[in-house]
Amino acid sequence: MFLKNAWYVACTPEEISDRPLGRKICGESMAFYRNVQGNVVALEDFCPHRGAPLSLGFVENGDLVCGYHGLKMDCAGRALSMPGQRVKGFPSIRSFPVIERYGFVWVWPGDPAQADPEKMPHLAWENDPSWAYGGGFFHIRCDYRLMIDNLMDLTHETYVHSSSIGQKEIDEAIPTTVNDGDAVITSRRMEGVIAPSFWKMAMRSNGLPEDVPVDRWQICRFSPPSHVLIEVGVALAGQGGYDAPASSKVSSIVVDFITPETDSTIWYFWGMARRFRPEDAGLTAQIRTGQQKIFSEDLEMLERQQRNLEEWPKRDLLKLNIDAGGVMARKVIERLLADERT
Amino acid sequence: MFLKNAWYVACTPEEISDRPLGRKICGESMAFYRNVQGNVVALEDFCPHRGAPLSLGFVENGDLVCGYHGLKMDCAGRALSMPGQRVKGFPSIRSFPVIERYGFVWVWPGDPAQADPEKMPHLAWENDPSWAYGGGFFHIRCDYRLMIDNLMDLTHETYVHSSSIGQKEIDEAIPTTVNDGDAVITSRRMEGVIAPSFWKMAMRSNGLPEDVPVDRWQICRFSPPSHVLIEVGVALAGQGGYDAPASSKVSSIVVDFITPETDSTIWYFWGMARRFRPEDAGLTAQIRTGQQKIFSEDLEMLERQQRNLEEWPKRDLLKLNIDAGGVMARKVIERLLADERT
Amino acid sequence: MFLKNAWYVACTPEEISDRPLGRKICGESMAFYRNVQGNVVALEDFCPHRGAPLSLGFVENGDLVCGYHGLKMDCAGRALSMPGQRVKGFPSIRSFPVIERYGFVWVWPGDPAQADPEKMPHLAWENDPSWAYGGGFFHIRCDYRLMIDNLMDLTHETYVHSSSIGQKEIDEAIPTTVNDGDAVITSRRMEGVIAPSFWKMAMRSNGLPEDVPVDRWQICRFSPPSHVLIEVGVALAGQGGYDAPASSKVSSIVVDFITPETDSTIWYFWGMARRFRPEDAGLTAQIRTGQQKIFSEDLEMLERQQRNLEEWPKRDLLKLNIDAGGVMARKVIERLLADERT
């Protein structure tokens, strides 16, 4: 129940070494490797000879060689050669469109003819030295839509992340949710509050006082298939909040690329892009470590929620105003899924 | 295939701390916590908001708060409050009748209207200082009826527990089995035998000689839904056995409360209530340790028996005279299950 | 989808000690033990009393006693005795024909009436002191036919075992495959090649130069149900290869007895029988250790291939000339399976 005609983050470039990487994306088992030009290739992880996983093989001059009996494939999924065999009549395997961008390897698990690079998300910080980025990823046993719900309703921060980014005022601030084409945007503003510990650290890192009232904002933007970018920040109170001058605020973008593995498991790529002190690698590492700890607090909740929903499959869930972001995102997905079927 | 309209042991009071306890009882996932009066409450472990398990939440002034987005439930399973929301129309979740007694938390997983406290088992040692009690519990992957069979046919002691409570004479003593209303009683008496090691220890602890012939008895009493209390003891030979004067015998009650988790798994609460040296906490601990070791000897047998029965589902089992207790207990259960369906 | 009327290796004699051994062979759970004559007996691992696994029991004077309630079985699967019971009417359980030979315990999981000892494979090295044997076994999660394929197409050595027995020339030498009754023989000869490391060690051990060209051969012989014996060796180049005089060659037989446990798991008994320096126990141990390491390299490939074939159940595999051995072996199996059904 996920879109297949879309760009998904498959892995980070560092995960592809001399040995291919085997990973299932949207139900498709793929082998990732680099060809002779250094471009990442994704083939079906199934050798047409005897069905061995190609990801157990090796790369020779940019071609993927099956590690069982040596069938060599080209990057289009055609058999290139095999010792002592003529391979002309061999069946091909699928090759999946791949783009390497923004520090990720993106793959299109659906119809290759529709794999338009223009459909890639546009991220502000590409090739812009005023930004810094750090992140990581988790494997989680839940439906990808539970993770979208999680990110489009940040009131959970008050409960799940109470010691870092949660604060009572999040619950009390009514969010607004709107459509923007296929995107869904949920916004929340809190004025004159004391920053929670994560943001105190960020203000301190940025030379701002940490114990004065701030205006805080969270602008969650879902875009299909399952990407959520969240503009977050705090400004000294009364200076315009989100629109305050750069010198009196700290802001960043929480980056969430959710990639279904199966109907009930995901690869979750998370990170933070920030505009302050981008040259400070130590700060990048510190934020990454903090974010990893915070985001790992969601794992048990998501996996247990998944199991609960499997146990009570017929139970309706509530759709409150705080859930509007997730609910509207699901409607977009439903509509695009219907398109994809026809 | 278990009775739902019955009192089952769910947990011990110590298992419920500041955090709720999540446990499945008779197929129902429940969250246990204490309300403001200190009484244990059992709610369905499913938040009506988004399906998160309530047992991952926390207790605030005696109310259970969901750890995901803060929905607060009352002890009847009704939504009490949620930050920024009106909860009037929220659906309720089930609340299960609970009684705390005899050192256990008891729950009624079926129809609450039938949850009569009078249906609780009556245990002689409640509030009687001449008794002492110690016990523990196991999680076992077997049908609860296999555990009833186990406890209603103690000839297995000769084989499974040969080094502690088993002795050849158990096999040789013909048991008698009778119904007593919905209860089933299997009795066995062995006269003029040498006590096995566990009972030697008990006699020694009680100031009796351990190397003289004794009369030994085992009176197993099954009562629905799946409770088995076993009167066991030894008396100096020829002094009346079970009816011998207190000064020449040692006796106790083996306590077995079997709670189905699913059709093929159980929570097994075991213990021993004794009438001798009740003030001796060291002896209680010693007996408890010994019993834990002995009862753990059954685990592999029960779990492997369960797997065997799943592998050979159509095979009939024998019903010998030693099996009469288990067989008659199953008949009582069948009859009550038929009642429950109508 | 395996033959049941056939002799399979069940275990090694050392696996049967005072306690019975429980093992599933071709879908049949069996308990193996030695009777009073010292012969191995295989009974259904299911006590006719209450279904407990007999392999959790013990052996008393050569009879198997159930460890739950003491039912004693004879070696034909009939109830012999039970404390306090008359066992005349007890149902019998199955007894499986067993032969102990060649250092293995063989069992016939099908119709006992057809269990002709003449159908046992005949191994040259039985009771012949000019041979030595060493081996071991693995449990592998794959269809037994994937292991037959593996052994009947040794081009995989070049890829899976590149550091020990693989070499490029294997791929380049065209094999020939022929039927011999129900057997299938795939042969390959490589002339004037440099021996790979395993064979250099064997030549050195046998007093031959290790850095001169050799003629190498591999003659794989499949016979039903799933046995593969492989004659392998090297001779100093130009001296007749397989037919060279004993003083200028080193040869051995790779022994592979594949026993299905279920449709997708196997017990794989591997070993090597050699004709050189049979008295050298240190060499036997060294070869065994080397072979264990080499054969363990196949495990991940076979298990992942199995999972891939389950994931793509409808995909046809290629049948190249190198696959002829496996393909023809499967045809023999299919034919015999059809016979077995009628």
* Residues of chain B contacting residue A161, judged by C-beta atoms under 8 Å apart: none
**Average pLDDT estimate for A265-278:** 93
- Main-chain dihedrals φ then ψ at residue B29, nearest 5 degrees: -75, 125
From B19's Cα to the closest Cα of chain A, the distance in A is 14
Contact with chain C for residue B298, Cβ under 8 A: no
How many contacts does A have with B, using Cβ atoms within 8 A?
Answer: 70
Query: Which residue in chain B is spatially nearest to C28 when comparing CA positions?
Result: B311
**Average pLDDT estimate for A37-48:** 97
**Average pLDDT estimate for C294-321:** 95
CA atoms within 13 A on the CB side of B14: 4
Of C158, C317, C320, the CB nearest to A51: C317
pLDDT grade for A124, boundaries at 50, 70 and 90:
confident
pLDDT the model gives residue C5: 97
pLDDT grade for A126, boundaries at 50, 70 and 90:
confident
Q: Which chains touch C (3 or more CB pairs under 8 A)?
A: A, B
pLDDT grade for A128, boundaries at 50, 70 and 90:
confident
Contact with chain A for residue C315, Cβ under 8 A: yes
Q: Which chains touch A (3 or more CB pairs under 8 A)?
A: B, C
Please return the burial class of B210, using the count of CB atoms within 10 Å of its CB with bins 0-12, 13-18 and 19+: middle
Look at A2-16, A274-288, B86-100, B250-264 and tell me which has the smallest mean pLDDT. A274-288
**Average pLDDT estimate for A243-249:** 93
pLDDT tens string, chain B, 342 residues long: the values are: 999 999 999 999 999 987 899 999 999 999 999 999 999 999 999 999 999 999 999 999 999 999 999 999 999 999 999 998 999 999 999 999 999 999 999 999 999 999 999 999 988 787 888 899 999 999 999 999 999 999 999 999 989 998 888 888 888 889 999 999 999 999 999 999 999 988 998 899 889 999 999 999 999 999 999 999 999 999 999 999 999 999 999 999 999 999 999 999 999 999 999 988 899 999 999 999 999 999 999 999 999 999 999 999 999 999 999 999 999 999 999 999 999 998
From C49's Cα to the closest Cα of chain B, the distance in A is 5
The share of chain A scoring above pLDDT 70, in percent, equals 100
Task: Write down the ipTM of this complex.
Answer: 0.93
* Residues of chain A contacting residue C320, judged by C-beta atoms under 8 Å apart: 49, 82, 85
**Average pLDDT estimate for A203-222:** 94
| Interval C231-256: pLDDT, tens | 999 999 999 999 999 899 999 999 99
pLDDT the model gives residue C342: 86
Please return the burial class of B340, using the count of CB atoms within 10 Å of its CB with bins 0-12, 13-18 and 19+: middle
pLDDT the model gives residue A195: 93
pLDDT grade for A65, boundaries at 50, 70 and 90:
very high
The rounded mean pLDDT for chain A is 95
A145: pLDDT strictly greater than 90: yes
**Average pLDDT estimate for A227-242:** 96
Contact B255, B271 (CB under 8 A): yes
Amino acid type, B299 = L
A297: pLDDT strictly greater than 80: yes
Domains and CATH numbers, chain C: 8-119 (2.102.10.10), 132-341 (3.90.380.10)
Order of all β-strands in the sheet with C79-81 = C58-60, C63-65, C72-73, C79-81
Q: Which of B45, B39, B35, B41 is nearest to B66 (CA)?
A: B45
3-state secondary structure of B21: strand
pLDDT the model gives residue C4: 97
pLDDT the model gives residue A169: 87
Contact with chain A for residue C153, Cβ under 8 A: yes
pLDDT the model gives residue A10: 98
pLDDT grade for A198, boundaries at 50, 70 and 90:
confident
Instruction: Please report, for residues A6, A143, B149, the alpha-carbon distance to residue A333 in angstroms, rounded to integers and kept in the order given.
Output: 11, 13, 54
How many contacts does B have with C, using Cβ atoms within 8 A?
Answer: 70
From A91's Cα to the closest Cα of chain B, the distance in A is 41
Helix/strand/coil (H, E, C) string of chain C? CCCCCCCEEEECHHHCCCCCEEEEECCEEEEEEECCCCCEEEEECCCCCCCCCHHHCEEECCEEECCCCCCEECCCCCEEEECCECCCCCCCCCEECEEEECCEEEECCCCHHHCCHHHCCCCCCCCCCCCEEEEEEEEECCCHHHHHHHHHCHHHHHHHCCCCCCCHHHHHCCCEEEEECCEEEEEEEEEEECCCHHHHHHHHHCCCCCCCCEEEEEEEEEECCCEEEEEEEEEECCCCHHHCCHHHEEEEEEEEEEEEEECCEEEEEEEEEECCCCCCHHHHHHHHHHHHHHHHHHHHHHHHHHHHHHHCCCCCCCCCHHHHHHHHHHHHHHHHHHHHHC
Query: Which residue in chain A is spatially nearest to B89 when comparing CA positions?
Result: A318
Is the pTM here over 0.95, yes or no? no
pLDDT the model gives residue B165: 86
pLDDT the model gives residue C260: 98
pLDDT grade for C170, boundaries at 50, 70 and 90:
confident
Q: How far apart are CA A192 and CA A169, in angstroms?
A: 10
pLDDT the model gives residue A164: 84
C18: pLDDT strictly greater than 90: no
The share of chain C scoring above pLDDT 90, in percent, equals 86
